[in-house]
Amino acid sequence: MNKEIERDLGEQPIAKIMAVYGFKPNDLVVNSTQQLTHKMVSRAVKGRCLNLKIQYRLLNALNKAAGKQYVLKDLFNY
């Protein structure tokens, strides 16, 4: 009954979006109006499963930095 949860989901679309703009994790941390750390950004890019609250923090920071309106489905494939 101990069902293993897949935590490493591979590189996420957020990594490609950040590469297009030339963003580093620090760019999102600086543009965030909420508490966001470099570790959270790195985990998102690598595909670690993040809770919804952190996903929205990343989304808001990316939207502010890029000047576009992305949605969660654009950033994550899980």
Question: What are 6-43's pLDDT values in tens digits?
Answer: 667 788 999 999 999 999 999 999 999 999 999 999 99
- Please name every residue paired with 8 in a beta bridge, in sequence order, or none if there are none: 48
- Please give the Cα distance from 48 to 68 (Å, whole number): 24
Count Cβ neighbours within 10 Å for each residue of 28-44 and write b for 16 or more, e otherwise: bbebbeeebeeebbebb
Predicted TM-score (pTM) of this structure:
0.86
- Confidence band of 1 (pLDDT split at 50, 70, 90): very low
Cα torsion 28, 29, 34, 35: sign: positive
If 0-12 CB within 10 Å is exposed, 13-18 middle and 19+ buried, where does residue 8 land?
exposed
Please check the confidence at residue 2 and state whether its pLDDT lies above 60: no
Question: What are 53-63's pLDDT values in tens digits?
Answer: 999 999 999 99
